[in-house]
A and B are shown apart, each in its own frame.
Chain A
Amino acid sequence: MGAYTVTWSTVTSGTMDVSTVSRKLGSLREVRSVADVPSITGGAWFPPREECTDQVSLTIAPRTPWILVIGVAGGREDSALKPIDAAPSQGFAEPLVIASYPFEPSSQATLDVTSGKLGLAVNELAQLKSSACEDGLEDPTEYANRCAAQVLGRAYTIFWLQDFLEYNKLVKPDVTTDDLGGVRISWRISSRVLRANFGADVKHRSYLYFEDGQFRGVDELRGETLAERLRWLVLK
Chain B
Amino acid sequence: MTPNTPLLPELGPDDDLLRALLNKKAVDNLPDAFLLRADERDSGLSVSIKSTAQECRALFKKTYGVARLAVSHVRELDLTVIPDEPNHANIVGIPYKDDDPERAEWLAGRLAERATIIDRGKVERD
Contacts and interface: CB of A to CB of B under 8 A. Distances in A.
Interface stretch (B3-11, B51-59, B66-74, B97-105): B97-105
Given A176-B29, A179-B37, A211-B109, A205 B22 contact: no
A204 B41 CA distance: 13
Interface in B90-115: 97-98, 101-102, 105-106, 109
Contacts of B32: 176, 178, 184, 186
Interface string B19-36: 000111110110110010
Contact residues on B (Cβ < 8 Å of other chain), bracket? 20 to 34
A199 B38 CA distance: 12
A205 B98 contact: yes
B78 to A, nearest CB: 16
Contact of A135 (B25, B39, B101, B102): B25
B62 interface: yes
A197 B23 CA distance: 17
A26 interface: no
Given A174-B25, A197-B101, A218-B101, A136 B64 contact: yes
Interface string A164-184: 000000000010101110001
A31 interface: no
A216 B106 contact: yes
A180 B96 CA distance: 13
B24 A209 contact: no
B28 A193 contact: no
A32 interface: no
B91 to A, nearest CB: 17
Given A136-B24, A176-B23, A179-B38, A204 B98 contact: yes
A218 B22 CA distance: 26
Interface centre among A136, A137, A186 (most CB of B within 10 A): A136
B25 A180 contact: no
Contacts of A218: 101-102, 105
A143 interface: no
Nearest to A193: B109
A199 B35 CA distance: 14
B125 to A, nearest CB: 13
Contacts of B64: 135-136
A68 to B, nearest CB: 26
B106 A211 contact: yes
A2 interface: no
A207 interface: yes
Contacts of B28: 174
A186 B32 CA distance: 10
Contact of B102 (A137, A176, A216): A216
B23 A136 contact: yes
Interface centre among A186, A204, A209 (most CB of B within 10 A): A209
A136 B105 contact: no
Contact of B62 (A136, A180, A207): A136
24 contacts: A135-B23, A135-B24, A135-B64, A136-B22, A136-B24, A136-B62, A136-B122, A174-B25, A176-B25, A176-B32, A178-B35, A178-B37, A179-B37, A179-B38, A180-B38, A184-B32, A186-B32, A193-B109, A199-B98, A204-B98, A205-B97, A207-B101, A211-B106, A217-B102
Given A176-B29, A204-B98, 10 more contacts: A134-B24, A135-B24, A174-B25, A186-B32, A193-B109, A195-B105, A197-B101, A205-B97, A211-B106, A217-B102
